[in-house]
């Protein structure tokens, strides 16, 4: 009897408030996806300082189903550059505008991700491609 009441209580909670998110803090930090799915991350500070489109070209040429997630708070000129790149390589992109997504200099402005786990040890673009900072 206790199990039925517990199941009923859970169903009522899900019906009223929605199904609880798995790792919501992580999803807010990575624009709605999980860390293990991220190929590359570009912060606001990095996006404002460098143009990473030339770095992304060889990555986008790989035969993977990537998606580009763009924080809606990003400058439209910068966002347009990455939207054009995504269109050029037939990559899906989504502009994320939720108030849940962090918006400071170190938070994610652009995420290149897959729909499955990639388990990259390093996702920060300047850590993976330090030669960009030397230009």
Band of the pLDDT at 16, cuts 50, 70, 90? low
**Which residue segment(s) compose the domain that 72 sits in?**
23-134
- Per-residue pLDDT reduced to its tens digit, 94-107: 999 877 777 788 89
Say if 37 falls within a structural domain: yes
Let me know if 87 is exposed, middle or buried by CB neighbors in 10 A (0-12, 13-18, 19+): exposed
Residue 43 β-bridge partners: 108
Say if 81 falls within a structural domain: yes
Say if 9 falls within a structural domain: no
Say if 15 falls within a structural domain: no
- Per-residue pLDDT reduced to its tens digit, 59-68: 999 888 899 9
Say if 121 falls within a structural domain: yes
> How many domains is the chain built from?
1
Backbone angles phi, psi at 109, to 5 degrees: -100, -35
Say if 14 falls within a structural domain: no
Backbone angles phi, psi at 133, to 5 degrees: -70, -20
Distance CA 124, CA 43 (A): 8
The CATH number linked to 40 is 3.30.1330.30
């Amino acid at each position: 009897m206790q199990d039925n009441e517990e199941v009923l209580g859970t169903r009522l909670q899900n019906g009223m408030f929605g199904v609880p998110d798995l790792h919501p803090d992580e999803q807010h930090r990575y624009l709605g996806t999980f860390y293990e799915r991220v190929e590359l991350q570009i912060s606001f500070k990095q996006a404002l300082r460098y143009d990473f489109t030339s770095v992304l070209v060889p990555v986008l040429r790989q035969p993977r189903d990537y998606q580009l997630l763009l924080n809606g708070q990003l400058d439209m000129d910068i966002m347009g550059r990455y939207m054009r790149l995504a269109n050029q390589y037939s990559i899906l992109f989504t502009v994320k505008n939720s108030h849940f997504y962090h918006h400071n200099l170190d938070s994610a402005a652009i995420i290149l991700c897959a729909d499955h786990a990639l388990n990259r040890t390093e996702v920060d673009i300047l850590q993976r491609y330090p030669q960009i900072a030397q230009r």
